[in-house]
Structure 1
Amino acid sequence: MNAITDTTPALAIEDLRKSFGKAEIIRGVNLRIGKGERHAVIGPNGAGKSTLFNLITGRFPPTSGKVSLHGKNLAGMAPFQINRMGLSRSFQITNIFPKMTVFENVRCSLLWSKGYRYSFWNLVSKSRDLTESADAILDQINLLNRRDLPAGVLSYAEQRALEIGITIAGGADLIMLDEPTAGMSHSETDYIVDLIRKVTEDKTLIMVEHDMGVVFGLADYISVLVYGEIIATGRPEEVRANPKVQEAYLGAALEAEH
């Protein structure tokens, strides 16, 4: 078993590859993301960003290569097993229970970490600890005043905030967000960015995002994925100035922002 040290990265990817039939989508990705780092993965549509997320979280098995979480190889693990090791993610499409209340959505996501698991005889409604923990998360994501509403009636930005609350509720120390501000207005984006900054404090954040204002405002490091390969990784200012990145993606993306 690998020993975990202060220098062990939160996430390590080694020569990761994924093919669907003859089409190679991820082509030898290598990446190390340190503990507490905020890391953005950017690139054009079709670059393989969501596929990379699915490989990391166990939704897709890799064709070859290795993914390690806190030094432990994730090979062969199911998504729920990876989640219980401390990795949680959101999706491009909002993934909530619309007919359940906002409170019930968060409470459900707390059950495993609070020790309920497969205990069918415990009434969760009677658990003070569970209720207080769910309310604390709702307060953190600014939805306490929406507590008893069906989640489906929330605004789009509020639903995304709820999904972030669900993502962090299990106590994961590595959070993966897939296009968290997609389809939002400027004011909604500002709201979600502030929320992400707050709830991921002292955690490791990996996000896919197309809004360059969000990327450069949040990320400590940026990796650029183009046609399944990372062509650059570095601090935001280094990536912005990289000629290869300008040519392949960033120049057009920044122009699209204006």
Structure 2
Amino acid sequence: MTATSAPRPPALEISGLQKSFGKAQIIRGVDLSIGAGERHAIIGPNGAGKSTLFNLITGRFPPSAGAVRLHGQEINGRAPFQINRMGLSRSFQITNIFPRMTVFENVRCSLLWSQGYRYSFWNMVNRSRDLTAGADEILEQINLTARRDLPAGVLSYAEQRALEIGITIAGGANVIMLDEPTAGMSHSETDYIVDLIRKVTENKTLIMVEHDMGVVFGLADRISVLVYGEIIATGHPEEVRSNPKVQEAYLGAALEAEH
């Protein structure tokens, strides 16, 4: 096998990951490998541990056991901001923006560290052409150029989620984690956000938690099913859809709920 045909190393590797809160074991030994450039969905019933798994990966919770590696480098014990600077960025279930700042200012803030701005009081960000150009480029990517100078708090729900996705990608991360990006949206809003996710994560690794099966099967290259803190199946969408264990534990009920 030549160097050009060799498979790329995993972007994210999880091995033996566990998390307990007191006597309650929430994550029960998760093993998962997600390839660079892959779009991977994690699905499962409410209470399965999906958000806890996200929090373990991104450093919000320390694991009780096991390891998480980002591009081969172990990130256990690192603070969330350190993991972010290593190339992993996430969004949250609840929209997390600065509502009184303009749309442009929200995106510009998220660019500061990657553009070399540190904790100094003499850098005048308003005078930085690079920051302005970078923020405007992201606004164009997320289709919010026309809303540039509005307070972020007046955007529609779907536009706020789009802005949060823009903030998530602004630092240049190559692994993007989205936690229920289309929750609470109408069909038209969902279509808008799905098209946006597909565009802004091109050539990046996408890991998402999502309950809308149409979104999952439309976006994901592979799917993992988490039930009671354990992954019961991982595979391509059709493999997961036809898996009897998945049908029994989750997918049948989830698909019925959408109709």
Distance in 2, matches of 1:119 and 1:209, equals: 39
The residue aligned with 1:242 is 243
Structure 1 residue 117: deviation in Å?
A: 1.5
Are positions 1:167 and 2:168 aligned together? yes
Distance in 2, matches of 1:214 and 1:7, equals: 26
Structure 1 residue 118: deviation in Å?
A: 1.6
Structure 1 residue 146: deviation in Å?
A: 0.2
The residue aligned with 1:152 is 153
Give CA-to-partner distance per residue, 1:157-204, whole Å, 9 cap, x none. 000000000000000000000000000000000000000000000000
Structure 1 residue 119: deviation in Å?
A: 2.7
Give CA-to-partner distance per residue, 1:38-70, whole Å, 9 cap, x none. 000000000000000000000000000000000
Distance in 1, matches of 2:216 and 2:102, equals: 32
**After the TM superposition, which parts of structure 1 deviate over 4 Å for at least 4 consecutive aligned residues?**
none
Structure 1 residue 6: deviation in Å?
A: 5.3
The residue aligned with 1:66 is 67
Structure 2 unmatched runs, 5+: 1-5
* Residues paired across the two proteins, number: 254
The residue aligned with 2:196 is 195
TM (norm. structure 2) is: 0.97
Map of 1:66-105 to 2, 5 A cutoff? 66-105=67-106
Structure 1 residue 124: deviation in Å?
A: 0.2
Are positions 1:114 and 2:105 aligned together? no
Which amino acid in the other structure matches residue 190 of structure 2? Answer: T
Distance in 2, matches of 1:196 and 1:257, equals: 21
Question: What is the DSSP-based 3-state SS (H/G/I as helix, E as strand, rest coil) of the residue aligned with 1:10?
Answer: strand
Distance in 1, matches of 2:136 and 2:146, equals: 10
The residue aligned with 2:47 is 46
The residue aligned with 1:137 is 138
Structure 1 residue 254: deviation in Å?
A: 0.4
Structure 1 residue 7: deviation in Å?
A: 3.6
Question: What is the DSSP-based 3-state SS (H/G/I as helix, E as strand, rest coil) of the residue aligned with 2:185?
Answer: coil
Question: What is the DSSP-based 3-state SS (H/G/I as helix, E as strand, rest coil) of the residue aligned with 2:10?
Answer: coil
Identity %: 85
Structure 1 residue 8: deviation in Å?
A: 2.1
